Structure 1
Amino acid sequence: MIGASVQMAGHRGKVVMAVVSSFSAAVVVAGCGPMLTASAGTGDNRSQAVINVTPALKSNAASVLAPIVVKADLGTLTSVAVTGPDGQLPGTMSADGATWTSQPGLELPFDTKYEVTAVAIDPEGRAREVNDTFTTVKPAATPVPGTRYTTDYVTYGVGMPLVIPFKSAVTNKAEVESKLKLTTSQPVEGAWSWSDDSTIATFRPKDFWPVNTHVNLDGHLYGTKLNDTDYAGGNVTLDLDIGDKVTMVVDPNSLQMTVSRNDQPEKVIPVTIGKPGYETYEGIKVISAKEGTITMKSPPGDPEYYVADKVEYSIRLTDHGEYLHAAPWAADAFGNYRYSHGCISMTTENAAWVFGASKPGDLVWVNGPTGEPWRKDNGITVWNETWPEWLSKSATGAKVVGPQGQISPAPAPSAPAPAAATSVPPATTPAAG
């Protein structure tokens, strides 16, 4: 049909003047005079084309991640423009002219208005135009996730988990876990799990990291709904290496600490630990930081309040102030009796050796009862939970990851293996005590 024209009033469904010369006809929009209203009896002159837009026009809570799709039913799109504060969004038209889709991977800002203008013609050459807006979701908060205990391009011990704290409780756990993509240079079975208050996601392998493993985390979380009110405002990435397996096993009865590298004993060191009322925590701990020379002091109200300046070779084990460190003032106690206020202390010479031989992520196991059980909220304590306990707080369960990312779901948990007295037990075995 050549030169057919019809008119119809209306803001979002108006039919405009169209000049059609072929299937890919140009559309000319009348721009000056008022639109003429079609009478009830002129239905045959109305365009049969229907334009559908996703997200819904007039929406005030559109996703910042979902593609924008403009589709013509009973017609062909001749023009589409989606425009925001920074200009027109890129997109592609399908070969048949029926669907326009925004560029894959496009991320829109929160709380931003976009105008959609689209024109389609039906088989008779009659045009329909849509012109309206939608606005992206406005969250109550848009926290940017980060990592705790780790940073890029550092080598850690086999016990270092990947810890991602959030500012509020996460209820959409499965989607968050699914977007935390891991690749490793060696196959590793592990799982994400959540803190009791749902504010921290942590990944740990089933049985420690293999030595000499490269680990990469690509957490594309921007725009992910975290709970009823909050959305992630950024992504989280991490690139690190796992080095040798260094373990320090403390016998709280003999007060000897056996240091091993890759399961081979290297040194036995006499130590002292927390005296009655200041007991050292039991179980498996992970070195979180090497702090060197620091000042230590008791909490306010401690009946034995003290301030110790220049405590050398200090290695942090817990968030509540437990360290490995030199204590030359306690020389008589090493290997003989419990003297400290909770720390594991030794001679300056031995502390210097341990400081040089260790790194964050190495394991310290107090292998026996001290009178103070381990606490979940006290540093890196993930290895004190059995594998079934760990999986019970995971939304997506165990998985095997490798150089190509997730390889497969992991098999069902197996029975715990017995632990040797001079090495840190596998993660499936609860810590002694």
Structure 2
Amino acid sequence: MSISRVRRPWRFAAVALIAGTVLLSSGCGHGDKSPSWQGGGDSSAAAGGGTGSGNDAASPSPSPTLSTVAVVSPAADATNVVAAIEVKYTSEDPENTSVAVTDAGGNEVKGTLDKDSKVWRPDKALAYGTKYTVTVNGTASEGKGGSTTSTFTTMAKPSKIIRVTSFLGDGQVVGVGMPLIIKFSRAIPASYRDDVERRMTVTATPSQEGSWGWISPTEVHYRPKVFWKANSKVFTDVRLAGVPLGNGYYGKSDLTVDTKIGRSFVMTVSNKTKQMTVKQDGKVIKTIPVSLGKKSTPSSSGTMVVMEKARHTVFDTTDTDPVNGYKTPIDFAQRITWSGQFIHAAPWSEGKQGHVNVSHGCVNVSEAMGAWLFSRTMMGDPITVSGTEEKLKQGNGWTDFNVSYSAWKKLSYL
């Protein structure tokens, strides 16, 4: 699929955190007590090593040529500048060039300086309707230097905004198959999605490779290359306040979420053996007989995760199928697809479990094993079913791990 991307001057690249240091040039002596000064002194004495009369005044050397530093954007005295702006500048000696941005009160704005790209970026969106001053200093080093200032004013607070929310909250503990889910209150145009991804960072401890993938124009997920490492800490940082998001809309605010990954609890189900194998932290702790969906209502083969749990509920399909529908009380239900497949206790099929498939697509276990599983699982615990007549449809649940990592990365706009 070919996506046309609109290049905008405020596009954000990866941030390099570089501490600006100031280097002062120093003159080095030649060890000669009678130096020859350019444009002054007794030239014959200098050439022949004789001594001067002392009456010739030495003139100072001319000032070194200073490098040119300039603010490229925002333009000088620009108005209506987006709050998520980045400052671009030029310098012949970027390593020894510093950039400071101050508000009308002279308070310096916190930001990071990318000297390789010659870009300064604020740590968060600037205030709306505020005048700022940019000062670029090319400190004298090896004969180069210079200084310039420029001002700009940010736009008024926009009326068209897009809210950004996280499905997970701070401190929430989830399973190793749980994706990070970010939702938008309005569709993000395809040409803006790469910019959105650049403004969303995920930091896992310990470090783990991962990628964003767009599920829809209003929803984007993040998953690691393989299941999360057990007991990881995951920090999500979304910086979209003041960022243009298309059609005159702007991000309303920034968002941060601290998430904890729990122990590794992985369930695998084989239709061939009619058994579920449960591993915790890599070790088999239980083998459970199951009954899957009969041929007319097969269970889906693929990798799913536990999305919600209900100790007691009622399955009611009479509204969609008045003739063959049913209404049945269920214990220890754990949803794994949006279409209605669950892991749950089914005392009526205990004689069939481990031998024959009789369910409507769910993973049936005994009442005792249903209670045992229910007491140990958490949202995001993965379950992989294999060998059934039907493949899991992508998007029928949180199916992020149902595809290869290479296929998942194709859902990113970077």
- Bin of the TM-score, shorter chain as denominator length: 0.5 to 0.7
Aligned counterparts, 1:46-195, within 5 A: 54=74, 62-66=81-85, 91=107, 105=123, 107=125, 135-136=155-156, 138=158, 140=160, 142-148=161-167, 150-167=168-185, 168-171=187-190, 172-195=192-215
Residue aligning to 1:331: 350
Residue aligning to 2:341: 322
Change in Cα spacing, 1:347 to 1:108, as seen in structure 2 (3 Å) is: same
What is the CA deviation profile of residues 254-287 of structure 1, one whole-angstrom value per residue up to 9, with x for unaligned ones? Answer: 2211111122111111111122332211100011
Q: Does 1:257 align with 2:282?
A: no
Q: Distance in 2 between matches of 1:239 and 1:300?
A: 40
Runs of 4+ residues over 3 Å off in structure 1: 52-59, 88-93, 103-109, 112-117, 132-135, 137-140
How far off its partner does 1:209 sit?
0.9
How far off its partner does 1:390 sit?
1.1
1:64–1:136 contact (8 Å) kept in structure 2 = no
How far off its partner does 1:357 sit?
2.0
Residue aligning to 2:231: 212
Residue aligning to 1:8: none
How far off its partner does 1:380 sit?
0.8
- Letter of the aligned partner of 2:392 in structure 1? W
What secondary structure sits across from 1:247 in the alignment? strand
1:162–1:204 contact (8 Å) kept in structure 2 = yes
What is the CA deviation profile of residues 81-108 of structure 1, one whole-angstrom value per residue up to 9, with x for unaligned ones? Answer: 98xxxxx666459xxxxxxxxx955646
Residue aligning to 1:308: 328
Q: Distance in 2 between matches of 1:275 and 1:269?
A: 18
2:83–2:155 contact (8 Å) kept in structure 1 = no
Identity %: 28
Structure 1 spans left out of the alignment, 5+ residues: 1-51, 70-80, 83-87, 94-102, 118-131, 397-433
What secondary structure sits across from 1:231 in the alignment? strand
What secondary structure sits across from 1:279 in the alignment? coil
What secondary structure sits across from 1:282 in the alignment? strand
Select the residue among 287, 294, 318 that pairs with 1:268: 287
What secondary structure sits across from 2:206 in the alignment? coil
- Letter of the aligned partner of 1:377 in structure 2? G
Residue aligning to 1:365: 384
What secondary structure sits across from 2:277 in the alignment? strand
Report the TM-score when normalising by structure 2: 0.65
How far off its partner does 1:226 sit?
2.3
Q: Distance in 2 between matches of 1:139 and 1:56?
A: 26
Select the residue among 371, 385, 394 that pairs with 1:376: 394
Q: Distance in 2 between matches of 1:218 and 1:298?
A: 41
2:83–2:154 contact (8 Å) kept in structure 1 = no
What secondary structure sits across from 1:393 in the alignment? coil
Select the residue among 308, 314, 323 that pairs with 1:289: 308
2:163–2:251 contact (8 Å) kept in structure 1 = yes
1:55–1:68 contact (8 Å) kept in structure 2 = no
Q: Distance in 2 between matches of 1:157 and 1:219?
A: 22
How far off its partner does 1:242 sit?
1.3
How far off its partner does 1:199 sit?
2.6
1:157–1:362 contact (8 Å) kept in structure 2 = yes
Structure 2 spans left out of the alignment, 5+ residues: 1-71, 89-101, 110-120, 134-151
Change in Cα spacing, 1:286 to 1:233, as seen in structure 2 (3 Å) is: same
1:272–1:336 contact (8 Å) kept in structure 2 = yes
Q: Does 1:228 align with 2:247?
A: yes
How far off its partner does 1:329 sit?
2.0
- Letter of the aligned partner of 1:372 in structure 2? E
1:287–1:360 contact (8 Å) kept in structure 2 = yes
1:170–1:199 contact (8 Å) kept in structure 2 = no
Residue aligning to 2:363: 344
How far off its partner does 1:347 sit?
0.9
How far off its partner does 1:381 sit?
0.5
How far off its partner does 1:206 sit?
0.7
Q: Does 1:298 align with 2:317?
A: yes
What secondary structure sits across from 1:226 in the alignment? strand
What secondary structure sits across from 2:375 in the alignment? helix
1:55–1:134 contact (8 Å) kept in structure 2 = no
1:211–1:242 contact (8 Å) kept in structure 2 = yes
Q: Distance in 2 between matches of 1:113 and 1:147?
A: 29
Report the TM-score when normalising by structure 1: 0.62
What is the CA deviation profile of residues 317-367 of structure 1, one whole-angstrom value per residue up to 9, with x for unaligned ones? Answer: 112221111111222221222221211111110001111221111110101
Q: Distance in 2 between matches of 1:145 and 1:54?
A: 27
What is the CA deviation profile of residues 156-213 of structure 1, one whole-angstrom value per residue up to 9, with x for unaligned ones? Answer: 2111111112231343122211221222221201111112x33321111111111121
2:318–2:324 contact (8 Å) kept in structure 1 = no
Q: Distance in 2 between matches of 1:276 and 1:91?
A: 70
